[in-house]
Structure 1
Amino acid sequence: MLNVAVLISGTGSNLRALLEQTADPAYPARVVVVGADRDAPGLQHAADFSAPSFSVPYTAFSTREEWGEALAEQLRAWEPDLIVLSGLMRLLPPQVVSEFAPRIINTHPAYLPEFPGAHGVRDALAAGVDQTGASIIQVDDGVDTGPLLAQERVAVLPGDTEESLHARIKPVERRLLIDVVRRIATGDIDLTGARA
């Protein structure tokens, strides 16, 4: 059984999908803890599924490094086999990445390396492209630059807004995440081999 920690900043729709999947005894992973960098509404999903949770508010620390150390301390206590960044809207400090890599993966609402960063959906619309996508990557020290584990295209439709396009990307993102976590748990994806 793969023990997974999930880190969020917002509503946690990907988290909820993963929690629903891990409730199935046939799924080879379980969420052992959910963490957030603020009082995120998505922490309610953890409560709904009786999953432990913690919050390490970024604003409570004077430096990103201090926040990272407090976050790492929480994660160490749970000894996760995998850390999923699911809408965590902060870059992990380098010391956290180096401690837990290559066991950190991230979801991203674009077809990387297209449109990295915090506004992938908005940037795709601004660029006027006719398709974007969703990606699951391993986390490195860059901004959405880690090795790709899975991705899929999503069409940009005439009249799309940031909200409507993101609403179509999210189900693809969730499906890819659930599949990637399963494949890591079964050994079909070897994170040590996937790391650049």
Structure 2
Amino acid sequence: MAERKPAYRIAVFASGSGSNFQAIVDAVACKELDVQIELLVCDRPQAYVVERAKQAEVPVFAFKPKEYPNRQAYEKEILQQLEERGIQLIVLAGYMRIVTNVLVDAFAGRMINIHPSLLPSFPGVDGIGQALAYGVKITGVTVHYVDGGLDSGPIITQQVVAILAGDTIETLSERMHAVEHELFPQVIGWISEGRVKLEGRQVTITA
């Protein structure tokens, strides 16, 4: 019998309720995704995602940014946690803090984010609200690499979501989240299998 290769090790960063974190946990539990979630990083110790991690028996590094002199200081501590666990990929899943060069440089090409718009349209906060306010007829979900800019990294994949007549932030968010919860674990799987290639801004996915 061939020896099973070590699991691909990821860390998830989140700040809120953690529905995308839960989608990743569930995908691993039902063997749709073959990775090991080694760490949850959270900048809000009271966030519900911390409870989700405890229920899933995922180690947690929760911190309060105001207790550090600057972003680089707490990111250096985070980086130490990641290196100790041999993390191969950082997954930003609703992490509401700007990431500095401390992590961006150390994990260049190994950090991904999910954003609720078809980038480069509507980057930043409230991509869903921005799309509704602008009056576009379609929006969607983007998974991209993190490069230190505002949702500006190379795009891995996108999925379109139609905006329906009478849509509100609540109704559109519900459909967007359903797409996110399916797409994000899928992309993590592609990366863990070595199927995603990054050259400059161009990303190719092999079968």
Task: Bin the TM-score by the shorter chain.
Answer: over 0.9
Distance 1:165 1:26, change over 3 A: closer
1:149-160 → structure 2 map (5 Å cutoff):
149-160=156-167
Distance 1:171 1:80, change over 3 A: same
Matched-pair contact (CA < 8 Å) for 1:4–1:83: yes
TM-score norm. by structure 1 comes to 0.93
Q: Name the structure where helix makes up a greater proportion of residues.
A: 1
Equivalent AA in structure 2 for residue 17 of structure 1: A
Equivalent AA in structure 1 for residue 188 of structure 2: V
Matched-pair contact (CA < 8 Å) for 2:112–2:145: yes
Name stretches of at least 5 consecutive residues in structure 2 with no aligned partner.
1-6, 202-207
Give SS of 2:90's match.
Answer: strand
Could you say which structure has the larger radius of gyration? 2
Give SS of 1:92's match.
Answer: coil
Partner deviation per Cα, 1:2-59 (whole Å, 9 max, x = no partner): 1110000000000001001112346321211111011221111111111111112222
Partner deviation per Cα, 1:135-163 (whole Å, 9 max, x = no partner): 10000010111111111011111222222
Name stretches of at least 5 consecutive residues in structure 1 with no aligned partner.
none
CA distance in 1, matches of 2:181, 2:200: 22
CA distance in 2, matches of 1:124, 1:194: 30
Matched-pair contact (CA < 8 Å) for 2:39–2:59: yes
Matched-pair contact (CA < 8 Å) for 1:56–1:71: no
Aligned length: 194
Alpha carbon RMSD of aligned pairs, Å?
A: 1.4
1:15 aligned to which of 1, 17, 21: 21
Matched-pair contact (CA < 8 Å) for 1:107–1:135: yes
1:90 aligned to which of 97, 102, 106: 97
1:24-103 → structure 2 map (5 Å cutoff):
24-25=30-31, 27-39=33-45, 40-103=47-110
CA distance in 1, matches of 2:153, 2:34: 24
CA distance in 2, matches of 1:173, 1:65: 29
Equivalent AA in structure 2 for residue 29 of structure 1: V
Using the TM superposition, give the Cα deviation of residue 71 of structure 1 relative to its aligned residue in structure 2, in angstroms.
2.1
Hey, what does 2:126 align to over in structure 1? 119
Provide the identity percentage.
35
Using the TM superposition, give the Cα deviation of residue 183 of structure 1 relative to its aligned residue in structure 2, in angstroms.
0.7
Give SS of 1:122's match.
Answer: helix
Hey, what does 2:205 align to over in structure 1? none
68-77 or 145-154, larger mean C-alpha shift: 68-77
TM-score norm. by structure 2 comes to 0.89
Partner deviation per Cα, 1:75-111 (whole Å, 9 max, x = no partner): 2222211110000011111121001111100011111
Hey, what does 1:110 align to over in structure 2? 117
Give SS of 1:42's match.
Answer: helix
Matched-pair contact (CA < 8 Å) for 2:116–2:141: yes
